[in-house]
Structure 1
Amino acid sequence: MQEPARVRQLDEKICRLICPISAAMVGVCLTGVGLLRVAVAVEHKSTLADDLLSLDAVIFLVATLVSYFALRTQVRNHRLEQVADVAFITAMVLLTIACPLITYSFPL
């Protein structure tokens, strides 16, 4: 069964967005890890959030690389686009989970 051209174009646009956004989110996660490390050094209190953000950075990197390779292939590879999409959404969910951990790890 042939996919409509509109659906194919939408998929390619999404893949084109995942690549730069995921790359930027790697930087966000690394910044968060750095700030948490400073807080841990000052407070002498360990937290799960920095470990979660480190894992998150790796998943964002996977999303970046997979979406990049999906864009670079001569023939559109829908499987790579799906993997990039799942990795991006997974990483965003983990980042959202890390937020309350960061917020409530260091009381005022």
Structure 2
Amino acid sequence: MNQLPNKKNETPCTPQREPSREFIEVDITIHIFTVSATLVGACLTVLGIFIMSRRLSHVKSFGEELLVCDAFMFLVSCILSYSALRIRRIGRRHRLEQLAEEVFFIALAFMVFICGFIIYELR
């Protein structure tokens, strides 16, 4: 039997506070860490597919070397973001967070370039 909620037991709606800048930066660093680690795996998977296809067609692709460089950049971003999460000094942590973010975005843009290059090679 459906009953209406008791007004006395309800908690009043309190406005939620904005998250602090420190919380947002740590949250972004955690996301960069997890996504860059995942993208290292994605690059290595595509590299494995290239190697398997090369065995079938005996054609070497320049995209393989580009993927290795991109995987390395994602790995660097992952290591920097992990280091930023572990370090206690705020100034150094902010520098590491910013560097990890910059390397991550460069690697992401490079991945888009590599995808275009691979599509061009496959045509």
The TM-score, its normalising length taken from structure 1, stands at 0.87
Query: Per the alignment, in what secondary structure is the counterpart of residue 26 of structure 1?
Result: helix
Report what 1:69 is aligned to: 83
* 1:59 maps onto 2:73 in alignment: yes
2:85 partner amino acid: L
Report what 1:80 is aligned to: 96
Structure with greater Cα Rg:
2
Quick one: distance in 2 between partners of 1:53 and 1:61? 12
* 1:93 maps onto 2:109 in alignment: yes
Q: Which has the higher contact order (CA 8 A, sep 6+)?
A: 1
Tell me the percent identity. 33
Runs of 4+ in 1 over 4 A off after TM superposition: none
Quick one: distance in 2 between partners of 1:61 and 1:74? 22
Per-residue Cα deviation, 1:74-98 (whole angstroms, up to 9, x for no partner): 2231110011001100111111111
Report what 1:10 is aligned to: 24
* C-alpha deviation, 1:8, in angstroms: 3.0
Query: Per the alignment, in what secondary structure is the counterpart of residue 20 of structure 2?
Result: helix
2:23 partner amino acid: Q
Structure 2's unaligned 5+ residue stretches are 1-18
* C-alpha deviation, 1:44, in angstroms: 2.0
Structure 1's unaligned 5+ residue stretches are none
Quick one: distance in 2 between partners of 1:68 and 1:41? 37
The TM-score, its normalising length taken from structure 2, stands at 0.77
2:112 partner amino acid: T
Quick one: distance in 1 between partners of 2:24 and 2:82? 16
Report what 1:42 is aligned to: 56
